[in-house]
Amino acid sequence: MSSPEVESKDRQILSLLAADGRMSFTDLGKATDLSTSAVHQRVKRLEQRGLITGYGATVDHDQLGRPLTAFISITPIDPSQPDDYPERLVGIPEIESCWSVAGEESYILKIRVATPRDLEDLLARIRGAASVSTRTTIVLSTPYENRPIG
């Protein structure tokens, strides 16, 4: 069963909210040529359908003391073991995201730490907690991230 098509106005609302999750219903209405109550109803419907799964703040990780971003690919040492790596790693706060991927690695983790030494310590904790080998890519700069839908 396929999901219902997302209407043009709903796509417009989703795009606006992705760019500014704090945009008021009044401002959304002005941008979409809809009444405030119509926008409110559409947003509630988009939330109920699961197209909007939450609202969040974009934070400055440099100011939070975690300027170093890296991607860590993990591969099981023993592939016969259960695939419960996300559960084994969920308690490690430096891991921002965890993606299951196709390819040589099983998962890719996005992490944020303060220093290269912290990264080294984190890698040891990940390897110990999940019994995996790792491959790390350090981010030098981020020209853009979390781009709004188009």
Contact between residue 67 and residue 76 where contact means Cβ atoms under 8 Å apart = no
pLDDT at 8 over 50: yes
DSSP string, the chain: -PPPPPPHHHHHHHHHHHH-TT--HHHHHHHHT--HHHHHHHHHHHHHTTS---------TTTTT--EEEEEEEEESSTTS-S-HHHHHTT-TTEEEEEE-SSS-SEEEEEEESSHHHHHHHHHHHHHHHTEEEEEEE----S--SPPP-
Q: Examine the domain organization and report whether 15 and 77 are in the same domain.
A: no
pLDDT confidence tier of residue 56, bands split at 50, 70 and 90: confident
What pLDDT, in 10s, does the model give residues 96-124?
999 999 999 999 999 999 999 999 999 99
Whole-number pLDDT of residue 150? 66
Angle, to 10 degrees, between the axis of helix 36-48 and the axis of helix 8-19? 90
pLDDT at 1 over 60: no
94 lies in which domain range?
Answer: 62-139
Q: Examine the domain organization and report whether 71 and 12 are in the same domain.
A: no
Least confident span in 1-10, 29-38, 40-49, 89-98: 1-10
pLDDT at 149 over 90: no
CATH number, domain with residue 108: 3.30.70.920
In a domain, residue 1? The reply is: no
Structurally, how many domains does the chain consist of? 2
DSSP lists the bridge partners of residue 137 as: 71
pLDDT at 84 over 90: yes
Which whole number is the average pLDDT over 43-57? 94
